Chains A and B, each alone.
Chain A
Amino acid sequence: MKFTLSWLKTHLETTASLSEITDALTMIGLELEGVENRGAALAPFRVAHVIEAVQHPNADRLRACTVDTGAGLVSVVCGAPNARTGMKAVFAPPGSFIPGTGITLKVGEIRGVQSAGMLLSVREMGLGEEHDGILELSPEAPVGVPYAAWAGLDDPVIDIAVTPNRGDALSVRGVARDLAAAGLGTLLPFAPAPVPAEFESPFGWAIAMQDACPWVLGRTITGLKNGPSPQWLQDRLLAIGLRPINALVDVTNFFTIDLGRPLHVFDAGKISGTTLTFRPGDGETFKALNGKDYTATPDDCVIADAAGVQSLAGVIGGEATGCDAATTSVFVECALFNPVRVALTGRRHQVASDARSRFERGIDPALLPDAIEAATRMIQHLCGGQASTVAAAGAEPHWRRTASLRFERLAGLGGLDVAPDEVVGALERLGFTVAGRDAERVVVQVPSWRNDIAAGTPLEPSATLPAERAAKAAAGRAEIEPECDLIEEVLRLGGLDRIPPVSLPAGGAVPAATLTPRQARASVARRTLAAQGLAECVTFSFMEGARAALFGGTSEALRLANPIAADLDQMRPTPLATLALAAARNAARGHAEVGLFEIGPAYPAIDRQVQVAAGLRAGPPARHWAAPATPATAMDAKADVWTVLAALGVPMDALTVTADAPAHYHPGRSGCVRQGPKTVLATFGELHPRVLAALDLAGPAIGFEIDLDAVADPKRRRKTAPDLPSFQPLRRDFAFLVDAGVAADAVLRAARGAERTLIAGVSLFDLYQGDGLPEGKKSLAIEVVFQPRERTLTDAEIEAACQKVVAAVAKATGAALRG
């Protein structure tokens, strides 16, 4: 909302400076967006009279001028060809800064003639590009007055952000009222005298959509002469970015800004019939004042005459009945509209008008009679003409209500003790009237323009609440909300800085854990993965549908109805998908070798969101003199998974790996990590070549996804005493020949299970397949650690244990011991 300082002062009598006003606006909730003050840079420049301009004695192109600055005569050397005796010009005294040249003037001597100042061009003042000569002012310009003031350039334009609750502050008068209430001056009275009616209005209203339009006033003015509005009105509109159209239209725009009271003028000569009807739209198309066609729906309230729709009520008027230079009589519309309907109509047709933004926030329902008188008077003043009676339909809606405030609640809720007299004074300055007061509380009448106070709008309670609890809460709200409304008013006017800050009371000397076990799991996983050399990423939750499909994300239910871009339309099935895109982007920039991870949501189904730790290693590793440049394999992915799961306290011995990982992995080089038959904790493997090709990612790349929500909360158990036998362990190696399809894990498990009490560990130290072995076979070499507990083992006992290992492995996998 923009307005000029001088406009504000038509409603506010104040001695406050511009900065005091703008600071106050920000503190009371009408946040300053900016001040445009063209006059500030022109402050030193004054209107001057060139008493004499003669040829410079020593320079052909210069003139020596004697200038009356209003404060005495000075000598000025001027190079402008148009400098001449008797003209009025703009004078810059020594010491002033010239915006167009960036120079600060000094008294000088130019070729023997003193020059104590400068006569300015438009460009030198920073007001335009014109530089043919100095600016010539009209002969009437008063010598010695500040140029900016005389030229009307010293009126700062103030721009404030008005919050959605404050429709009343979308008016200069509303802003003035708030400033006055905050102690920055006095609100000037507004009481327009009625304009006597000279005839019965030939036009009238009919309301056939009561909920959309409860009340409307109209007035016919005939015999007027439209034309450009006067300079002062054009200047005000231009200053705030509104284009002057003609006097009649400018009057309506003036009241929209001045009182927050949008008006409309129908050209009476263009109205068909004598009745304007408020009714639902019926699919009619009409051309609006912005030149665009709109088709009214049954949910829109339109204003129609005998010929059809002429206006979208409260949003935009129609071209067919608009006023132009030829207009000689008008029918003025001053109506009240349902804010919700206006908002919905405006949104439906995507019209953002000054009228809409005020109606949808709600305008003062009691202002209509005064507003139509003020508008009539102004139209007559500017255009002449005779006014009719006021034609009305509907009635002033019920808006009177009270709100009550317990004085102790200022401290109890607001944290600030405010004296009751100060509380009441603040409310009264805002237009509240005291309906009752005692030592504990005050009851006030809410002014008509404050539809945000004690509004009593409907609750939207949770459907799951027990009825009794919901009713109690609703009763509490009815009691407390108006009080909160008033507390906010009192506190904001005094400034929230007055409220002393108080640190939160501690719940205990040492706070309880901040994170839940699930949240702590994410933190541990994050640190663990970063400690594995992976860089954490945060990628978007949505991605291109076609690419999401590569990772199984094809659900229509998870496709955004209104994506911001075509490549951000599908909720990602896994963070691995967006990590793969990130790896491809890095590769395209010449950084193919990346190790990335993300802990974030996956959206496998519309009602399911899973916290996943995903990682990806891609690209050939950098070559190094001491390390072979081997790319990461599925086993590296498995190691990442293992490291994280171990860090999360998962019992690692209980895990199994199955070969049924999702389709975005290499089918033969990927796995599912399972805890028990049902729970899948993680998947890992090489990414499928098809996926890599689709993403322009040079392979191989490995990835993993750990479902952090599937990991069980850690059990807080005391650890058992450690097993620390005093006898030396024995190590024996076995090489088994098995079918190539036998899982190494099966061999290891069988060996471990062969003699539970004696075998402390089994590890695979060699895997061989190829020359020297039969076709379809592989050799697995394992080391078994035997741990004696009570005494040293005899050779016979060792031999027996070894036989058990060989037998168990053979039985489980069909393995043969290699000779």
Chain B
Amino acid sequence: MTDDLQTLQSETDAALAAAADPRALDAVRVAVLGKSGRLTALLKELGRASPEERRERGAALNRLKDALTAAIEARRGELDAAALGARLAAERMDMTLPPRPRAQGLIHPISRTMEEMAAIFGAMGFAIAEGPDIEDDWRNFGALNIPAHHPARQDMDTFYLPGIDADGRSRVLRTHTSPVQVRTMLNQEPPIRVIVPGRTYRADHDATHSPMFHQVEGLVIDRAITLGHLKGCLIDFLRAFFGITTLPVRFRSSYFPFTEPSMEVDIGWNRKTGELGGGGDWLEILGSGMVHPKVLANCGIDPREWQGFAFGMGIERVTMLKHGIPDLRPFYESDIRWLRHYGFNPLAPAMLHEGV
């Protein structure tokens, strides 16, 4: 490279190094590569050289042009990076600031339990049946083999509404979900396999009783359903619901007007610690039995052809046991602190394949 070219390169390099912003950089570029730039001028002079000289100097000039162009772009990159760096530095924020709150909604524990019941019983082929909270006394009592004078009617402190309905019957707030058994048997031909979660009402209000609470009823009617199936179904449910595959379950004889034979169901727990599964104590958890022939007949089902079982369980009770919730009353008080503590994530609903 001739001296003049070398000088041009070194002077340009120095100018580029001195260019502190894109405009200064552009000025350097124009001064070298612009229309009247120094390199452009040298290229123009090439025509006057001999062909021999022209080839050699032309090649040198082109090499220099490439080198200078690259140097300019490299410097431009440096300047851009520096500018971006300065901007980013200026944009720095305190990342320890609290983010904008997004309200977290929750599912009530009672709903959660009902969902879990639907999932588990659903896997056993049950559908969900429903009925109104305001019932007539025939569906709530009479059809279920609880005649007017029956002592069981005194055990259930019934809420009454004034007046009578079109059929001349008293209106009550249902004391159990069992009237839906009657509705289902009257509306549907067997075989039947339903659960009935819902609101129930009894005139009782203290630390362990609420005038409104929730039950789930179960009803299975088929040709060859036995007490063995009742036991199997409830053991399967209780073990799945509480997530304890070895949960001890005990059945003992009892009485309900609408079942025969009737039985109470206990699960094993530790009375001292409240832990379920072991401990040698028994905790009464639900009532059940084979559907009484009178109940079947009251609903037009011939007990010679059809038989089955029914059960009823307190939803709050099993919810309290499963989650260790000590008190009943806060379930209905809507204390936002309680709801936040015991509520469930709506986007993690009860699904068997994710685990209930």
Contact = CB atoms under 8 A, between A and B. Distances in A.
Interface of A: 26-29, 31, 163-166, 339-340, 343-344, 347, 360-361, 411-416, 457-466, 469-470, 472-477, 479-481, 484-485, 487-488, 491-492, 496-497, 499-508, 511-516, 519, 523, 526-542, 556-565, 568, 571, 579, 582, 585-586, 589, 591, 594-597, 599-601, 603, 606-607, 609, 622, 624-627
Interface string B327-354: 0000111111101100100110100000
B120 to A, nearest CB: 10
9 contacts: A415-B228, A473-B298, A484-B292, A496-B252, A512-B127, A541-B133, A595-B105, A597-B105, A626-B97
Contacts of B155: 164
B212 A541 contact: yes
B160 interface: yes
Contacts of A591: 336-337
What are the 10 closest A-B residue pairs judged by CB atoms, nearest first?
Answer: A533-B103, A415-B228, A514-B122, A163-B255, A530-B346, A29-B253, A582-B334, A492-B253, A530-B105, A415-B226
Contacts of A504: 124-125, 193, 220, 229, 232-233, 236
Contacts of B162: 556-557, 559, 561
B8 interface: no
Nearest to B101: A624
Contact of B293 (A481, A502, A559, A626): A481
Contacts of B242: none
Interface in B294-316: 294, 296-305, 307
B149 interface: yes
B231 A414 contact: no
Nearest to B339: A535
Contact of A560 (B110, B130, B159): B159
Contact of B199 (A28, A466, A526, A541): A541
A516 B103 CA distance: 31
Nearest to B209: A564
Contacts of A480: 293, 303-304
Contacts, number: 325
A462 B299 contact: yes
What size tier do the contact residues of chain B reach? Answer: 35 or more
Contact of A531 (B160, B255, B293, B346): B346
Contacts of B250: 497
B232 A536 contact: no
A415 B340 contact: no
Contacts of B349: 523, 527
B161 interface: yes
Contacts of A339: 149
Contacts of B231: 415, 496, 499-502
B44 interface: no
B307 A535 contact: no
Nearest to A484: B260
Contacts of B203: 562, 564
Nearest to A514: B122
Which of A166, A462, A465, A562 gathers the greatest number of chain B CB atoms within 10 Å?
A462
A353 B61 CA distance: 125
A603 B134 contact: yes
A500 B251 CA distance: 11
Interface string B111-148: 10001001101111111101011100010001101010
Given A496-B263, A499-B227, A609-B132, 14 more contacts: A343-B149, A465-B299, A497-B250, A501-B231, A504-B236, A507-B193, A529-B105, A531-B105, A560-B161, A571-B134, A571-B161, A601-B133, A603-B133, A606-B134
Given A557-B162, A585-B334, A594-B336, A462 B298 contact: yes
Contacts of A536: 105-108, 111, 339, 343
B273 interface: no
Contacts of A416: 227-228
A461 B186 CA distance: 11
A622 B261 contact: no
B62 to A, nearest CB: 44
